[in-house]
Each structure stands twice: as C-alpha cells, then as structure tokens.
Amino acid sequence: MTYRIDFSSQAEAEADAAFVNFARFTTPERAQAWYQGLIAAISSLQEMPRRCSLARENAFFTLEIRQLLYGSGKTTYRILFTILDDRPAPTVRILHIRNALQRAIGEPQDEE
C-alpha cells in the first residue's frame, strides 16, 4: 500500500528552521544536500511507515505517534508522524520535525 504524505504547517516551518540553522554552520551545498536528504527520508514513509518505532510522544497523546530518525550526531532530527488509514487515501501526516536533543512534546518538565 502506498501512503500519501501530508505536512502540518508546523512541520513545514520546523523543516525550514532546521535548514536555516544547519546552513549557519556549514556550506550552502552541504545544507542543501542535508535538506534534500530530509525530504527523501520523509518520502520513504510512503511505503511501510509502520516500520518506524513509536516516538517518546506516543505516551502523551491519544493518536499513535511514530518517528523516523534522520541525520547523525547533533544533526539528528526526529520526524514525528501519525498514520491515518481512515481517510479517502491512506495518509502519513507529518506533525513535527525536531532535533533529537529537544525535549519530547508533552513531556512534563523536571521539577528542580
């Protein structure tokens, strides 16, 4: 089965922000290659999106939240998505694109 990819406006903004941030520390060519790789990784979710593990956020929301990791080291990003089988066409909804070092969405902050 092939899934349609649908981006939330938040995920689009986060992808753009990640690209701008990455471009600050590297060459324009490397930044462009990184961004194209991000889009290719997301496109891979058209086939077998359930191959990806549940995200940390899954514990805080009623929808099943999965993640696809992209990058390495400090430039690893978590592509957070949900799978919507009940639409006219099966859809992977990209919810967020977050650096792996960021706190999970919905995770309570530690009390100090």
**Is 111 inside any structural domain?**
no
Length of the chain in residues, anyone? 112
**Is 30 inside any structural domain?**
yes
Contact criterion met (CB below 8 Å) for 67 and 79: yes
Given this model, what pLDDT does residue 48 score? 96
**Is 90 inside any structural domain?**
yes
Tokens coding 97: 């694109």
Q: Which domain holds residue 31?
A: 4-99
CATH number of the domain residue 49 falls in: 3.30.2310.20
**Is 106 inside any structural domain?**
no
Phi first, then psi, for residue 68 (nearest 5°) are -120, 125
pLDDT tens profile 76-86: 999 999 999 87
**How far apart are the two ends of the chain, measured CA to CA in Å?**
48
**Is 22 inside any structural domain?**
yes
pLDDT tens profile 55-103: 999 988 889 999 999 998 888 999 999 999 877 889 999 999 999 988 8
pLDDT-based confidence at 13, cuts 50/70/90? very high
**Is 15 inside any structural domain?**
yes
**Is 112 inside any structural domain?**
no
Pairwise CA distance, residues 49 & 107, whole Å: 24
Given this model, what pLDDT does residue 50 score? 96
> Total structural domains in the chain?
1
Given this model, what pLDDT does residue 85 score? 87
pLDDT tens profile 19-48: 998 899 889 899 999 999 999 999 999 999
Pairwise CA distance, residues 42 & 49, whole Å: 10
Given this model, what pLDDT does residue 83 score? 96
